Amino acid sequence: MELETLIGHWIEKRRPLLVELLSDLIRARTENPPGNEAEAAKVLAAFFDRFEIPHESFAAAPGRTNLIGRVGSGGKTLLLPGHLDTVPAGDGWSYPPFEPTIVDGRMYGRGAIDDKGPMAAIALAGACLRECADLTGTVLLAGVADEETGSALGLEWLMQQKLIRPDYAIVPDIGGEMEEIDVAEKGLLHVKVISHGRQAHGSTPHRGVNAIWNLIALLERVRAAGLPAVPHDLLSPPTCNLGMINGGHAPNVVPGIASAVLDFRFLPGQTAEQYLACLRELADATARDLPEARFEMETLSALPATEVARDNPLVRIIQETTLAATGRPASLMGMSGATVTKQLVSRGVVAVGFSAGDVKLAHMTDEYVELEELVQFARVITLVAVRLLGTK
């Protein structure tokens, strides 16, 4: 039997196993914070054992388990990293968020689409590769921790520790219903601006220096200045969001300190350092107009803008395989948000985002995934791995 036909039959026959695995993953409560991904890692490890897939676990902190299964050896390495943590369930669910419920072909539960559904599909794809294909390369099936709060204990840590060194990666965390491939992402800069003044009695404000008024003066200058931009066909222009502001203790006290947190999203070819430099120039200009004003900048988070070549073999193979399997083309897209492709691309890995499901359902009440689409995604990922890495 032709390999592609064999893979299709193998995946379809094990549809109930995919449903079982996803159900068990949803029941493993891994809300982040606190995470506790070890519970989901146990479920995934038992699945790997069932198919004799070698695996190792690594934890940057107690309970924050990263599990990596391996299929094949040598050659090029393809990383398939799903994340095991979820956002908190929240309120207003029609079904219990941690007791998977199937209605009209949809499985409801926290993490169904973000990211335990795709994780289950990846695991099934790995099992199919283990039993059906003799790869000339290596597939890493990774259930990683801490994606929802920045990946410091997950993929970022694994890369820093050099525990994984892939050549390619498909990050199944963008939704897109297998019709989009994420090849570009904006950079991110979260910077805290601190305004220092001098406290005084509210009845004699001239004796103090009002840190809030000075901060407002700077923020107005930031808004008026605009953002440097170059056209990008897949990404919207750079943005700045004033996300937090804090200052003052009482109405009758001149505030001696105030702060704001700005969220900048910038384009490939731009850097966080450029934006910080512009912000400092604006702060200096404000201080020249208000001689007693003093500002301090604190970088809370900085991620680079990333982009991969659009004609690389991974993109081409995903497009060809998806079109053949679904009859629908997968178009290239860019994201203003961030996925773990950043950690990979910034280290020289050819990484793209590609997944099943509707991204609008992520983090929502009554999150669900279409089970038929998840089965199809498992088949597509299996075929992509075979075509990318080759067989003996």
The CATH number that applies at residue 53 is 3.40.630.10
pLDDT at 252: 98
Angle of helix 38-50 relative to helix 15-27, nearest 10 degrees, comes to 160
Average of per-residue pLDDT values in the chain:
96
Q: Is the pLDDT of residue 338 over 90?
A: no
Q: In the predicted model, what is the mean pLDDT of residues 169-179? A: 96
168 and 252 fall within a common domain: no
Condensed to tens digits (0 to 9), the pLDDT of residues 241-266 reads 999 999 999 999 999 999 999 999 99
Residues near 375 by beta carbon (within 8 Å), at least 6 away in sequence: 11, 12, 15, 18, 121
Give the separation between CA 276 and CA 285, rounded to whole angstroms: 14
Same domain, 63 and 107: yes
| pLDDT for 230 | 82
Domain end: 253, 270, 303, which one?
303
Is 97 a residue whose pLDDT tops 80? Answer: yes
Instruction: Return the pLDDT at 337.
Output: 87
Does 115 share its domain with 219?
no
Give mean pLDDT, residues 6-15.
96
Once rounded to an integer, what is the mean pLDDT over residues 212-241? 94
| CATH number of residue 229's parent domain | 3.30.70.360
How many Cα atoms are found within 13 Å in the side-chain-facing hemisphere of 200?
12
Q: Is 140 found in the same domain as 53? A: yes
Tell me: do 35 and 165 sit in the same domain: yes
Whether residue 28 sits in one domain with residue 173: yes
Residues 120 and 127: their CA atoms lie apart, in Å, by: 11
pLDDT in tens, 357-388: 999 999 999 999 999 999 999 999 999 999 99
Looking at the structure, do residues 155 and 99 belong to the same domain, yes or no?
A: yes
pLDDT confidence bin for 226, thresholds 50/70/90: confident
Contacts of 2 (CB under 8 A, 6+ apart): none
Same domain? For 51 and 162 the reply is yes
Neighbouring CB atoms inside 10 A of 229's CB total 13
Total of domains in the chain: 2
C-alpha dist (Å) from residue 10 to 106, 126, 361? 22, 12, 29
Residue 33, preceding bond cis, omega within 30 degrees?
yes
Show the domain range for 318: 3-185+305-389
Looking at 303, 324, 352, which one is the last position of a domain? 303
Q: Which two tokens stand for residue 319?
A: 């497009």
Tokens 């525990």 sit on residue: 163
- pLDDT value of position 229: 79
Return the structure tokens found at 170. Answer: 């498909």
The predicted structure's pLDDT at residue 382: 98
pLDDT band of 273, cuts 50, 70, 90? very high
Is it the case that residue 277 has pLDDT exceeding 70?
yes
Render pLDDT for 132-143 as a digit per residue (tens, 0 to 9).
Answer: 999 999 999 999
Q: So what's the pLDDT on residue 1?
A: 63
What does the pLDDT average to over 88-101?
Answer: 97
Give yes or no for a contact between 357 and 350, defined as CB atoms under 8 angstroms apart.
no
pLDDT tens-digit map of 230-239: 889 999 999 9
Over residues 36-40, the mean pLDDT reads 98
Please count the residues of the chain. Answer: 392
* Domain's final residue, options 303, 331, 353: 303
pTM assigned to the model:
0.91
Residue 228 in this model has a pLDDT that exceeds 90: no
What residue type is assigned to position 362 of the chain? A
Residues 304-331, mean pLDDT to the nearest whole number: 96
Instruction: Give the pLDDT of residue 6.
Output: 95
